[in-house]
Amino acid sequence: MSGATTAASSVNHSLHLPTPTLDAESQSLLQSISAQGGYAYARMAALAVAGDQSAAEAARDMAWEQLHSGPWHSVLPVWRDAYSMACLHVAKFHFAAGEFGEALGALDMGLIMGGTLLRKDLHDSVLLVSSEARKKGEKSLEACGDFKGEKLVPEVPVDVNEVLKILPCKSLTCGRVEKRCDLSLEGFLRDYFQTGTPVVITNCMAHWPARTKWNHLDYLTTVAGNRTVPVEVGRNYLCSDWKQELVTFSKFLERIRTNRSVEPTYLAQHPLFDQINELRDDICIPDYCFVGGGELQSLNAWFGPAGTVTPLHHDPHHNILAQVVGKKYIRLYPSSLQDELYPYSETMLCNSSQVDLDNIDKNEFPKAVELEFMDCILEEGEMLYIPPKWWHYVRSLTMSFSVSFWWSNETESSDS
């Protein structure tokens, strides 16, 4: 148990977080938690409602322990909702005390780790706390709309000769991914979707607000600086020293902007737009994602410094990777080459290749050496379509902010 009960004199009673869903569902949720043996949690939650901040923090700690009691898929949904409830209680105390950063941290943890029952309360609370925090800091979203601050990535053309020094062997020497400007939906369906062929689509993102906003440090700091996000630390997820951390977005931006972190820090495959609505409003779901009559499966952010690598792997869904800021190199192999790419036998890694394209062991993986592939440099404002099960390797050539859209076609949706 940490922290002490907030002194009454430090509470601003005009700062109140309304939580209508929590108010309506609290009794039923506590009964469900008690039915799973969470009597101590229920007692602490009741004390929290009565004004005991330390009890709210204790309840949060109890729920956190339950979230880490075994594999994530085995955690009962009621404990995820219990964690959300406790995060809301903790946030209420911090908000009333004018501790907006701490309140946002608690709410973000509820969004990242909690269940679905109280998600609207968490989102609405984030909006209210963020608004009050901006008033305190005297900086609004409109104030950073002039974009006079520092750019994250300068507009400099790619020096191919320099880039080739850091790319895997034979890069940009085999088949290039075709680039199509203003590709129609009919052309996409006929020439690429139905044939399962990658394509780079240009001149398709100019209307996104993100194209002008996300390259500016002031904007990202204003809309997301106090928010807590999960980041990956280490070369990539296949390395033994790889780990995950929870940091504020401001701290993450400082790491990747100054390169002061000893190990690469990468915000990878995170549903950032479910968490930060302002950033979600800056992008649009491409119409191509509705081809095939399927459903959008996930919408993820990929944000990190130059040199971050996603090792060779494949994904189960149709994928459009939209490059908003910076440039990336992508290499692709068709799904038919699976055996030649030596996938891991472990279930958790069976979609990843054992072949390190940056340093291929020719003796251990001889079939991979002479394989044909397609590749491209994905520029700002371009989208890459990656068909299901196509193997792909990705390297950031500059600081890079990308969005991936996974969707299934109608047949895959009905099967799942």
Q: Judging by DSSP bridges, how do beta strands 400-408 and 383-386 pair with one another?
A: unpaired
Q: What is the pLDDT of residue 8?
A: 42
Q: What is the pLDDT of residue 352?
A: 94
Q: Judging by DSSP bridges, how do beta strands 391-396 and 309-313 pair with one another?
A: antiparallel
Q: What is the pLDDT of residue 75?
A: 93
Q: What is the pLDDT of residue 31?
A: 97
> Exposed, middle or buried: residue 178 (CB in 10 Å: 0-12, 13-18, 19+)?
middle
> Which are the contacts of 28, defined by CB distance < 8 A and separation ≥ 6?
none
pLDDT mean values, one per 10 residues, the chain (416 residues)? 45 81 97 96 97 97 94 92 98 96 96 95 95 74 58 87 93 94 96 97 96 93 92 75 86 84 82 92 95 89 93 95 98 96 87 94 93 96 97 96 90 51
Say how far apart CA 340 and CA 368 lie, in whole Å: 6
Q: What is the pLDDT of residue 347?
A: 76
Say how far apart CA 277 and CA 282 lie, in whole Å: 9
Q: At what angle do helices 53-67 and 77-96 cross, to 10 degrees?
A: 150
Q: What is the pLDDT of residue 408?
A: 87
Q: What is the pLDDT of residue 3?
A: 47
- Under 8 Å between Cβ of 204 and 384: no
Q: What is the pLDDT of residue 244?
A: 84
Shortest CA distance to 142 belongs to which of 275, 254, 278? 278
Neighbours of 274 (CB within 10 A): 15
H/E/C letters for each residue in the chain?
Answer: CCCCCCCHHHCCCCCCCCCHHHHHHHHHHHHHHHHCCCHHHHHHHHHHHCCCHHHHHHHHHHHHHHHCCCCHHHCCHHHHHHHHHHHHHHHHHHHHCCCHHHHHHHHHHHHHHCCCCCHHHHHHHHHHHHHHHHHHHCCCCCHHHHCCCCECCCCCCCCHHHHCCCCCCCCCCCEECCEEECCCHHHHHHHHHCCCCCEEEECCCCCCCHHHHCCEHHHHHHHHCCCEEEEEECCCCCCCCCEEEEEEHHHHHHHHHHCCCCCCEEEEEECHHHHCHHHHCCCCCCHHHHCCCCEEEEEEEEEECCCCEEEEECCCCEEEEEEEECCEEEEEECHHHCHHHCECCCHHHCCEECCCCCCCCCCCCHHHCCCCCEEEEECCCCEEEECCCCEEEEEECCCEEEEEEEEECHHHHHHC
The phi and psi torsions of 19 (rounded to 5 degrees) equal -135, 75
Amino acid identity, position 244: Q
Q: What is the pLDDT of residue 414?
A: 47
